[in-house]
Structure 1
Amino acid sequence: MYLNNHSYYSLRYGTISEVELLTMAQEYGCDRFPLTDINTTSACLNFIRKAPSYNIKPIVGIDFRNDAQQCYTCLAKNNAGFEELNTFLSTHLHESIAFPEEAPAFKHSIVIYPFEQLLALDKLTFLPHEYIGVGLNEINKLRFSKLSEFKHKLVVLHSVTFRDKRDFNTHRLLRAIDTNTLLSKLSVSQQGSPEDKMYPLEVIRKAFGEYPHILQNTEQLLKECTIGFDFLENRKNQNLKTVFNSVDEDYKKLVELCEIGLPNRYGNDITVEIRERLKKELKLIKQQDFVSFFLINWKIIQYAKSKDYYHVGRGSGANSIVAYLLEITDVDPIELDLYFERFMNLYRASPPDFDIDFSTWDREDVTRFIFETFGNKGQAALLGAYVTFKHSGAVRELGKVFGLPKHEIDKLSDGKYDIQKLDQLSKLVLQYAQYLHGKPNYISIHAAGILISEKPIHYFSATHLPPKGFPTVQFDMHIAEDVGLYKFDILGQRGLGKIKDAIAIIKENHPDVILPNIHNAKPFFEDAKINAMIEKAKCIGCFYVESPAMRMLLKKLGVRDYLTLVAASSIIRPGVAKSGMMREYILRHKNPERRKQAHPVLWDIMPDTYGVMVYQEDVIKVAHHYAGLDLGEADVLRRGMSGKYRSREEFQAVRDKFIANCREKGEADEVIFEVWRQIESFAGYAFAKGHSASYAVESYQSLFLKCYYPLEYMVATINNGGGFYRVETYLHEARIHGAIIYPPCINTSSIDTTIIKKEIYLGFQHLQGLEKRTMLKIMNARVHRLFTTLDDFMERVPLSIEQLDILIRVNAFRTLGKDKRSLLWEAHYKCNHIAANESQGQLFKIHSKDFTLPKFTITKLESAFDQLELLNFTLYDPFILLESPTTSNLVSTDLELYLNKIIVIYGYLVTVKNTGTAKGDRMFFGTFLDQKGEWIDTVHFPPVAKRYPFRGKGIYRITGKVVSEFDFLSIEVLKQERMPYVSDPRFDTTYNRKELPEEQVKSFRLLR
């Protein structure tokens, strides 16, 4: 009897989850129940999946509305009907056009027009699939309407959107948020009715007692509808089945590609082990019906190579020799003994996971290629993702609709309030923020996922068209996997942009150099100079190995080879560190005696990591070999560990079996629960070994470039948005390697940062406030010839005085032979006397009056403060900015002389990591540069962190104890204070009087 039911995926309208709707339907005795969300089918698949658990046959449809105005409710008779509804909805969402007053002549769907809507339309003819929906409050009107004559067309149309008054109040708040209006001014037309709730069937039957035919029509209509998808554990793969016309042709092509790849990857050293591994993989790939999955990824890589796009293939697919031979990944699974069962096994329904990284700039074109190649029949879509209400955001939204002032909203959002002192309105905000928490707010796009299905994508979902311009499904990755759609992950990564650009810059700066094939990283693994860099943690700018935490780990482990770096890439992850396995791995790595403490079974399973769980597949190994679970159960455990299915019953069942099996084998509970604790602590934060290996390969590629071409590599790093640190850190690193750094120059610089031999010129893009069009004007004007005078520049590049002021103060006109203060005088005078018309060239050249100005002296301090303002950093030594000289000359190289002693040292703050203790207190890890530009690492425990907080960028005087852990030196801070800078000399007249002749002081005052 309920034909129109909304979940909270009717965004900013509904308040009930699709599962809660099923619970309600079961309680009210329904055996068939539709879900008809407003302009979306987001919840439909999960609704269909869950319905059998409630003994309900699911029906799905859409409540089509223009804004809040209902047009018609449609129900899919079958899967074909669901597809046509999705297609109709998607067309209108893509083109942002209103739904027509009358629905199309659907072949497999039912259309129900609201009674009131039909009165307005004066519609009196109906197609076989069209019905008239009568609400509980419209029965009396029906008596006096011509529509009452259409007895076989009349059905009950009662909306279910709320459970109670609280739901309705929440709904009104959501509508106010959606319409960006105060709750008090929310239009009634934008709201549902408080009566839109589920009444007992007896109430509905009684209300329509005089119209039994309406009840019969409604029941018959529900019986006409059915829908089904395969959600079984051994469900069919719904991805595109073939790439080369047929399944047989696809497999033949895959084998052919592997045979081509063997000599390319292994040369003449193709062992029996390699052949056996390839045979085993190909057999399973064919058996599991994943041939096309590999070929699609191969085609993507082939396109990227044709465009000279760099890529990294990672994920569990990196455990595959087939992926290695197809050049999807650059990780040799034989060399690393990668666990085959993590990649694929007979129990695994989902294909291996390939995360393919491209540079941020190349990723969009690769995505376009995928849609043009595989989506021309509507079979490709981006994967959706839902952004839910979080406490802070919900408080801010609710505060606005309640009309609270900004300072009140800030206070509530930040949690800085005493609940006892809050007024009733503020308490309501907090109360309803709690109700909204976790509910979907709006649909977004998955970070990387693309679906390529055998059937049209609208068979599964409607799509919308976000700004990226590619159709996007209305469900997330978990629902996609449930129905057998497995994503292709195409990600953007700055590290690859660095590598690509660095190679281009090297070729330009060193035209005679012949670079090795960067994709063949194996020679880099054996390079003593590169490994020495890693051991000393001299890795700034290099992918995944430059952060303070990674520098610390590299030094503690003494990493000097590829395999140890692979392990380091995984044990740095939070799950491994949290479980204590990071520390245990380091202890066993450095001390062979410690390895004897390993559990014998765990040692046998994981000898390469000394019996310590480091990688995701270690969970599968331990579950299979230690706890006796089959590979299917072990994979459930891995997926549960990753957080995807932690709440599902199957995960709990596997946990119970893990413990029971171990007890049967005679293991002590103490050991069992310790191993289980370690497994649980991974919590999705450990890498598959192949994934770590992929990262390590890219690390070595960037380390090679950094080792042999550090200046070019630093320029590429800066031009790709840096990495873990700010631009000034990479400039500092370049300076350490012999670079001479210059601020932007009108005659030399480009928009990006450039390098000529050892001279690096900052790009115009680093100037705060300089407009992109200004940069383009300079570059376009300079194509013909360099600028010779300020007049020449102003004539060819007409700019506002504000834009000109930025360029002069950063000393971009230094090649003209005049100091910047004289140029400022000149520019201000000329801009005030000559009107700049950017669109009209000058017919006659106008000569300006020449000035005789005093000779100005520009100090380092003035230039440093100009750079701080315009670049956000200075190219000078920041220590010259201190108001008072340092009282200690200790630097980081002195620390080992003061082990376990308290020292005072000065450091320029680079970065801070904020973390929490087990008790929930905040503590920090600081990274500084000392007075010689070397690294200082600090630890700030909660009491010190609270008493001596960080106060932004600058130079700090640090008092602390020098400590060592695994030969890594750091300072446990006892006290710190940010030291004051000297007064800005550009505005300090006292400074100017002391340092400059009086005539310059007067001139400067007039100018500023």
Structure 2
Amino acid sequence: MTAQQSLEHYTWQGVTTRYPEGLPDHVEKTIRHELALIETMKYAPYFLTVFSIVRYARSQAILCQGRGSAANSAVCYVLGITSIDPDTNDLLFERFVSQERDEPPDIDVDFEHERREEVIQWIYKAYGHDKAALCSTVTRYRAKGAIRDVGKALGLPEDLIKALSSGIWSWSETVGESQVRALGLNPKDRRLALTLRLAQQLMGAPRHLGQHPGGFVLTHDRLDHLVPIEPAAMVDRQVIEWDKDDVEALKMMKVDVLAHGMLTCMAKAFALIGAHKHQDIDLATIPQEDAATYAMIRRADTLGTFQIESRAQMSMLPRMKPKTFYDLVIQVAIVRPGPIQGDMVHPYLRRREGKEKVEYPTPELEAVLHKTLGVPLFQESAMKVAMVCAGFTGGEADQLRKSMATFKFTGGVSRFQDKLVSGMIKNGYTKEFAEKTFSQLEGFGSYGFPESHAASFALIAYASNYVKCHFPDVFCAALLNSQPMGFYAPAQIVSDARKHGVEVRSICINRSRWDCTLEEVHGTGRHAVRLGMRLVRGLATADAARIVAARADQPFASVDEMWRRSGVPVASLVELVEADAFLPSLRLERRDALWAIKALRDEPLPLFTAAAEREARAIAEQQEPEVELRQMTDGHNVVEDYGHVGLTLREHPLRFMRADLTKRRIITCAEAMTARDGQWLMAAGLVLVRQRPGSAKGVMFITIEDETGIANIVVWPKLFERSRRVVLGASMMAINGRIQREGEVVHLVAQQLLDLSADLSGLAGRDGEFHPPTGRGDEFAHGSPGSPDSREKAPPGVRARDLFTPDLHIDTLKIKSRNFQ
């Protein structure tokens, strides 16, 4: 049987699974058209390869989904590679494969990010290490890396290099004279000036080869006959010395095996729903067009969900008001630099809100653009406009699409301008309309979004919102178990779940497992989320497993008993104490538990171990006298929670400071977000997320949080440059500005920014400093505001035991914001 015959066999076999009630005629016609083109182009082996990888993943219950242009293929749908039904979606196969393009198709498949390695190792095993390898990527110097490497080479002090690099936001920024002066440095200093000049020259130069995120090269003959293969930094992986562009130029077969955090979250959520809610659902069987889910989306209550959780997406949701799946497809695609630069977002929204009349110059254009109200939002729309209105063939339209993707670098779209404009005029359109259409298409630049790709992402976005809407407890546990991923840190995920009525229980040595779990709330039928030991900073997975195994027969009754039965090192017990894991079941406060641990030695004495085994119970080596320790203040406990778990179930840090803030006329975030349009006010909060998208023309969006909720801040470029150190370095800031309200979208437009990080140092009863928590995305190192200056002499009369060394960071809480560009 040839490859083509095998593909056709599996395709028609898949039809019976996808369409048990019979194949619609137009879908059958599409499948036959695609199979004929695949045969002409001799692509059957490629489709079979991807099909075999997806089939293996499904056999191991690994959640996966194809996306990108492959979602335009009916064959990919019936083979189970993609999830976009050609019966309900108007697909354009030429976006995926065309004779004119004459290059291998590109199928991207997303897998659960925690189980993708299983798929990668299966590929090596199935195809052999001599015929399969990952592409490399050329890592180039960007601003921070260039300053760090040049600074080291020229012998600049480490703290100076850190100060210079921490004031840079984007990859391509340079350090200006004003920033150098703001750091108290002399821009005329010869070595400093040379560092900045050489770093600028290094920008864009290759630094080293890295691994491609998932681009696999698979060959029929030995790959090492063509290109050197080398072991990767990761165990059991190997890479070639060519990058994806080299591979494409040589027309070698490449399969993208990509990692997707939300698929991991969804797989864990479906498992929890099956185990605790006794409902069997997956991506394919989730109830569609659920009214409650769309109502939640319209409220922009989407924290933690896929794709529509960012600031830009959240602010667009109340205006878009999605009610159907196709609305969600548009929502995913509309908040992109392409449509924004192409002047398409506002016309679409105005038409959707009824502020602008929807007009189609001809019925042909209405047929193509009626779903997007006459605005070409998608790459497929642009291709269809060219085909229907200007007489392009499918292949020519695809070339137009490809030149749109690279016009910034090659100016390639302009060669199609005459053909498109003259073709449209010939078909009865005005020259003005034809040129406007062309400029809109050109506006996509390198960001044009395929409709099929948006639909693939919208499927996962809908699924994640459905789970959050109907099973908020499951969603919280699954999302925490899939970290690190997404915009928000565990602190915000837990806070959001509690606002949705979910009970969250603290880490407990007798009840917590490694992952967060669900515990039934007696007599209610609801479940509480028990935080898992994975959140304890520094605790090894193996030690957590030993603790869970040791308590299987009976729970631990004391610290000493836990140490003996589990056999975990004392250092791991200290990490659990610092996370307050002994409080829920043993009722031991942090200091009491730590006192009990101090009495333990590195390993139990053999005599007591033998006695304990004989008596079948733990026997203490010594009787400790009763002591009454001074317990930590509430504020100090909050500092410790953030420092060792990354979140707190106690009071929000700002609640302890509210009285002081009120005296300074600083209002809460909730009051700020409900204020009238144009009102001047001052609000303050912990910095959660900083975002400065490329299409925002230098505008910075910041999300802050206090005990009442979050507030959305807009920082204009001039203020950003004036207050760069506050914007990029503050853990907590106050914003003086004016409220801007458009419908349900509310922003506080900043006029003045104040760094309040020093105010946090008193939170632990003056025991230490407080640096609020945020997410993994922040690239900026925070200093130690409010700490004593190490250059000054210690005040006279201070006794040695009271000396405070700020460099030790005792009792400090560090919060890392998540930064997105």
Q: TM-score under structure 1 normalisation?
A: 0.66
Q: C-alpha separation between the residues in 2 aligned to 1:266 and 1:585?
A: 35
Tell me the equivalent position of 2:561: 792
Among 556, 570, 592, which residue is 1:822 paired with?
592
Among 459, 462, 477, which residue is 1:715 paired with?
477
1:850 equivalent to 2:617? Answer no
Please tell me whether the aligned partners of residues 360 and 374 of structure 2 are also in contact (alpha carbons under 8 angstroms). Answer: no
Q: C-alpha separation between the residues in 2 aligned to 1:322 and 1:505?
A: 33
Which 5+ residue runs of structure 1 have no aligned equivalent?
Answer: 1-245, 990-1003
Tell me the equivalent position of 2:789: none
1:590 equivalent to 2:353? Answer yes
Please tell me whether the aligned partners of residues 314 and 356 of structure 1 are also in contact (alpha carbons under 8 angstroms). Answer: yes
Q: Structure 2 vs 1, CA of residues 460 and 620 (structure 1 numbering), >3 Å: closer, same or farther?
A: farther
Tell me the equivalent position of 1:881: 656
Tell me the equivalent position of 2:210: 444
Please tell me whether the aligned partners of residues 718 and 727 of structure 1 are also in contact (alpha carbons under 8 angstroms). Answer: yes
| 1:286-344 per-position Cα deviation (integer Å, ceiling 9, x unaligned) | 12211222221111111111100101111111011111111111111231212232133
Q: Structure 2 vs 1, CA of residues 910 and 390 (structure 1 numbering), >3 Å: closer, same or farther?
A: closer
Q: C-alpha separation between the residues in 2 aligned to 1:867 and 1:715?
A: 19
Please tell me whether the aligned partners of residues 798 and 837 of structure 1 are also in contact (alpha carbons under 8 angstroms). Answer: no
| 1:674-728 per-position Cα deviation (integer Å, ceiling 9, x unaligned) | 4344333323323211111111111122222222221112111011014220001
Tell me the equivalent position of 1:549: 312
Secondary structure of the corresponding residue to residue 884 of structure 1 = helix
Q: C-alpha separation between the residues in 2 aligned to 1:498 and 1:301?
A: 19
Among 359, 364, 386, which residue is 2:112 paired with?
359
1:519 equivalent to 2:297? Answer no
Among 362, 369, 379, which residue is 2:131 paired with?
379
Secondary structure of the corresponding residue to residue 376 of structure 2 = coil
| 1:56-108 per-position Cα deviation (integer Å, ceiling 9, x unaligned) | xxxxxxxxxxxxxxxxxxxxxxxxxxxxxxxxxxxxxxxxxxxxxxxxxxxxx
**In the TM superposition, what is the alpha-carbon distance from 1:662 to its structure 2 partner?**
6.0
Secondary structure of the corresponding residue to residue 847 of structure 1 = coil
Tell me the equivalent position of 2:68: 315
Tell me the equivalent position of 1:296: 49
1:927 equivalent to 2:693? Answer no
Secondary structure of the corresponding residue to residue 659 of structure 2 = coil
**In the TM superposition, what is the alpha-carbon distance from 1:361 to its structure 2 partner?**
1.9
Q: C-alpha separation between the residues in 2 aligned to 1:574 and 1:841?
A: 69
Among 692, 701, 706, which residue is 2:468 paired with?
706
Q: Structure 2 vs 1, CA of residues 675 and 456 (structure 1 numbering), >3 Å: closer, same or farther?
A: farther
Q: C-alpha separation between the residues in 1 aligned to 2:143 and 2:732?
A: 36
State the AA in 1 paired with 2:467. Answer: L
Q: TM-score under structure 2 normalisation?
A: 0.80
State the AA in 2 paired with 1:939. Answer: V
Q: C-alpha separation between the residues in 2 aligned to 1:551 and 1:519?
A: 26
Tell me the equivalent position of 2:385: 622
Among 430, 433, 452, which residue is 1:690 paired with?
452
1:899 equivalent to 2:677? Answer yes
Please tell me whether the aligned partners of residues 312 and 357 of structure 1 are also in contact (alpha carbons under 8 angstroms). Answer: yes
State the AA in 2 paired with 1:923. Answer: V
The within-5 A match list for 1:856-867 is 859-867=633-641
Please tell me whether the aligned partners of residues 570 and 614 of structure 1 are also in contact (alpha carbons under 8 angstroms). Answer: yes
Q: C-alpha separation between the residues in 1 aligned to 2:343 and 2:39?
A: 41
Q: C-alpha separation between the residues in 1 aligned to 2:367 and 2:690?
A: 40
Q: C-alpha separation between the residues in 1 aligned to 2:508 and 2:331?
A: 42
1:762 equivalent to 2:531? Answer yes
Q: C-alpha separation between the residues in 1 aligned to 2:189 and 2:729?
A: 35
Q: C-alpha separation between the residues in 1 aligned to 2:740 and 2:474?
A: 36
1:775 equivalent to 2:544? Answer yes
Tell me the equivalent position of 2:82: 329
| 1:515-549 per-position Cα deviation (integer Å, ceiling 9, x unaligned) | 2343235x32x211222222222222222122222
**In the TM superposition, what is the alpha-carbon distance from 1:752 to its structure 2 partner?**
2.2
**In the TM superposition, what is the alpha-carbon distance from 1:629 to its structure 2 partner?**
4.0
**In the TM superposition, what is the alpha-carbon distance from 1:400 to its structure 2 partner?**
3.5
Q: Structure 2 vs 1, CA of residues 770 and 303 (structure 1 numbering), >3 Å: closer, same or farther?
A: closer
1:675 equivalent to 2:428? Answer no
**In the TM superposition, what is the alpha-carbon distance from 1:441 to its structure 2 partner?**
2.6
Tell me the equivalent position of 1:734: 497
1:807 equivalent to 2:573? Answer no
Which 5+ residue runs of structure 2 have no aligned equivalent?
Answer: 169-173, 181-185, 521-526, 612-618, 769-800, 804-809, 812-821
State the AA in 1 paired with 2:689. Answer: T
Q: C-alpha separation between the residues in 1 aligned to 2:209 and 2:732?
A: 44
Q: Structure 2 vs 1, CA of residues 558 and 665 (structure 1 numbering), >3 Å: closer, same or farther?
A: same
Between structure 1 and structure 2, the one with the greater Rg is 1
| 1:166-221 per-position Cα deviation (integer Å, ceiling 9, x unaligned) | xxxxxxxxxxxxxxxxxxxxxxxxxxxxxxxxxxxxxxxxxxxxxxxxxxxxxxxx
State the AA in 2 paired with 1:717. Answer: L
| 1:422-468 per-position Cα deviation (integer Å, ceiling 9, x unaligned) | 56666665565555443433222222211223343235422222134
Q: C-alpha separation between the residues in 1 aligned to 2:127 and 2:252?
A: 15
| 1:388-429 per-position Cα deviation (integer Å, ceiling 9, x unaligned) | 334543444344344454466567766546599556666665
Q: C-alpha separation between the residues in 1 aligned to 2:695 and 2:8?
A: 53
**In the TM superposition, what is the alpha-carbon distance from 1:837 to its structure 2 partner?**
6.0
Please tell me whether the aligned partners of residues 546 and 568 of structure 2 are also in contact (alpha carbons under 8 angstroms). Answer: no
Tell me the equivalent position of 2:646: 872
Secondary structure of the corresponding residue to residue 493 of structure 2 = helix
Please tell me whether the aligned partners of residues 381 and 451 of structure 1 are also in contact (alpha carbons under 8 angstroms). Answer: yes
Q: Structure 2 vs 1, CA of residues 428 and 824 (structure 1 numbering), >3 Å: closer, same or farther?
A: closer
Seq. identity, %: 26
Q: C-alpha separation between the residues in 2 aligned to 1:664 and 1:597?
A: 17
Among 574, 581, 586, which residue is 2:337 paired with?
574
| 1:774-793 per-position Cα deviation (integer Å, ceiling 9, x unaligned) | 43443343344321012212
State the AA in 1 paired with 2:227. Answer: S
Q: C-alpha separation between the residues in 1 aligned to 2:370 and 2:326?
A: 13
Tell me the equivalent position of 2:268: 501
Please tell me whether the aligned partners of residues 700 and 714 of structure 2 are also in contact (alpha carbons under 8 angstroms). Answer: yes
Tell me the equivalent position of 2:395: 632
Q: C-alpha separation between the residues in 2 aligned to 1:655 and 1:537?
A: 40
Q: C-alpha separation between the residues in 2 aligned to 1:598 and 1:460?
A: 55
Q: C-alpha separation between the residues in 2 aligned to 1:772 and 1:699?
A: 31
State the AA in 2 paired with 1:785. Answer: Q
Q: Structure 2 vs 1, CA of residues 579 and 599 (structure 1 numbering), >3 Å: closer, same or farther?
A: farther
| 1:28-82 per-position Cα deviation (integer Å, ceiling 9, x unaligned) | xxxxxxxxxxxxxxxxxxxxxxxxxxxxxxxxxxxxxxxxxxxxxxxxxxxxxxx
Aligned length: 735
| 1:119-145 per-position Cα deviation (integer Å, ceiling 9, x unaligned) | xxxxxxxxxxxxxxxxxxxxxxxxxxx
Q: C-alpha separation between the residues in 2 aligned to 1:475 and 1:708?
A: 47
Secondary structure of the corresponding residue to residue 114 of structure 2 = helix
State the AA in 2 paired with 1:972. Answer: V
State the AA in 2 paired with 1:910. Answer: L
Q: Structure 2 vs 1, CA of residues 317 and 971 (structure 1 numbering), >3 Å: closer, same or farther?
A: same
State the AA in 2 paired with 1:516. Answer: I
Q: C-alpha separation between the residues in 1 aligned to 2:606 and 2:43?
A: 60
Please tell me whether the aligned partners of residues 598 and 611 of structure 1 are also in contact (alpha carbons under 8 angstroms). Answer: no
State the AA in 2 paired with 1:389. Answer: Y
Tell me the equivalent position of 2:509: 746
State the AA in 1 paired with 2:634. Answer: K
Q: C-alpha separation between the residues in 2 aligned to 1:599 and 1:851?
A: 92
Report the aligned-residue RMSD: 3.6
**In the TM superposition, what is the alpha-carbon distance from 1:279 to its structure 2 partner?**
1.7
Q: C-alpha separation between the residues in 2 aligned to 1:401 and 1:448?
A: 34
Please tell me whether the aligned partners of residues 675 and 739 of structure 2 are also in contact (alpha carbons under 8 angstroms). Answer: no
State the AA in 2 paired with 1:941. Answer: W
The within-5 A match list for 1:189-208 is none
State the AA in 2 paired with 1:684. Answer: S
| 1:566-593 per-position Cα deviation (integer Å, ceiling 9, x unaligned) | 1111111222222221222211222274
Q: Structure 2 vs 1, CA of residues 988 and 432 (structure 1 numbering), >3 Å: closer, same or farther?
A: closer
The within-5 A match list for 1:37-186 is none
Please tell me whether the aligned partners of residues 714 and 748 of structure 2 are also in contact (alpha carbons under 8 angstroms). Answer: yes
**In the TM superposition, what is the alpha-carbon distance from 1:856 to its structure 2 partner?**
5.6
**In the TM superposition, what is the alpha-carbon distance from 1:554 to its structure 2 partner?**
1.6
